[in-house]
Structure 1
Amino acid sequence: MEIFNSVSKRVESAIKAPVQTRKLEVSNDIASNTNTSGQETAKQLVEVAKKLNDNMKTLDTNVEFAFNDEIGIMFINVIEKNTGKMIRKIPTEEAMLLSQRMQEIIGTIFDTKG
């Protein structure tokens, strides 16, 4: 809990306007490219994760954003600064595996041959 309090204090003390502007720019980039294929969307999400990680570095936080292309979901890692050990993953690894299995089941149920 102390880690989250420390992170939230740092975020609050940082200059908020530029961070919010960057967030809106990334959102607008994605919205303008809604007619893209799944692979292009995945590439865009990887780029968004990189931009978010760059923004997090300027705030001196231990939060990393990433994209799992197998299930098409973004996730967040909270890392302990001294040891590099992952403290928390959002969503959890179990939730990501459940999502992957659900997609496989749905694909099997609705996969019909004409």
Structure 2
Amino acid sequence: MDILSATSKQAQAQSAPVKVESTATVRSVETTHETAKTAKEQNEQSAEEIKKQLNDTVEKLNRNMEALDTNIKFGFNDKISMMFVNVMERSTGKLIRKIPSEEAMSLSEKMQEIIGTIFDKKG
């Protein structure tokens, strides 16, 4: 009988620290998850601020080009995060040239989609 009681006391003593470590691990994971969530929110806010700044810059560039009496218009493509330039005909407003070309921007967008499909993590 003494052997059984000693064995059961030993088993209880060994199982107690495991529970404490498990709780500490859960708290650590919860803290890490909250930190990651906060970082993600900050990145989203930063991305929105950057887009706003880029749009403001594009507007300023276009106002400056009008003041210089040129036929150049600037723009920003959100899908590929890239600026472009349109050269317009003065009298008709017809597009003469787009730099980079529409085909190049379309190709870049498709390549980013493919890369995103292969490498991006979801969730």
TM range (shorter): 0.5 to 0.7
| Secondary structure of residue in 2 paired with 1:37 | helix
RMSD: 1.6
Q: 1:71 aligns with which of 72, 80, 96?
A: 80
How far apart are the structure 1 equivalents of 2:74 and 2:67?
A: 14
How far apart are the structure 1 equivalents of 2:122 and 2:89?
A: 49
Percentage identity across aligned positions? 63
Q: What is the CA distance between 1:111 and its match in structure 2?
A: 2.6
Runs of 5+ consecutive residues of structure 2 not aligned to the other structure: 1-44
How far apart are the structure 1 equivalents of 2:94 and 2:65?
A: 17
- Structure (1 or 2) with the greater helix fraction: 2
Are 1:96 and 2:96 an aligned pair? no
Q: 1:48 aligns with which of 21, 44, 57?
A: 57
How far apart are the structure 2 equivalents of 1:61 and 1:54?
A: 10
Runs of 5+ consecutive residues of structure 1 not aligned to the other structure: 1-35
Q: What is the CA distance between 1:58 and its match in structure 2?
A: 1.2
Q: What is the CA distance between 1:70 and its match in structure 2?
A: 1.3
Deviating 4+ runs (over 6 angstroms): none
| Other-structure match for 2:117 | 108
Are residues 58 and 112 of structure 1, via their aligned partners in 2, closer, same or farther at CA, if it must alter by over 3 Å?
Answer: closer
What CA deviation, in whole Å up to 9, does each residue of 1:45-99 have, x standing for no partner? Answer: 1111001011111110010001111111110000001111000000000010011
How far apart are the structure 2 equivalents of 1:94 and 1:47?
A: 26
Tell which structure's C-alpha radius of gyration is larger: 2
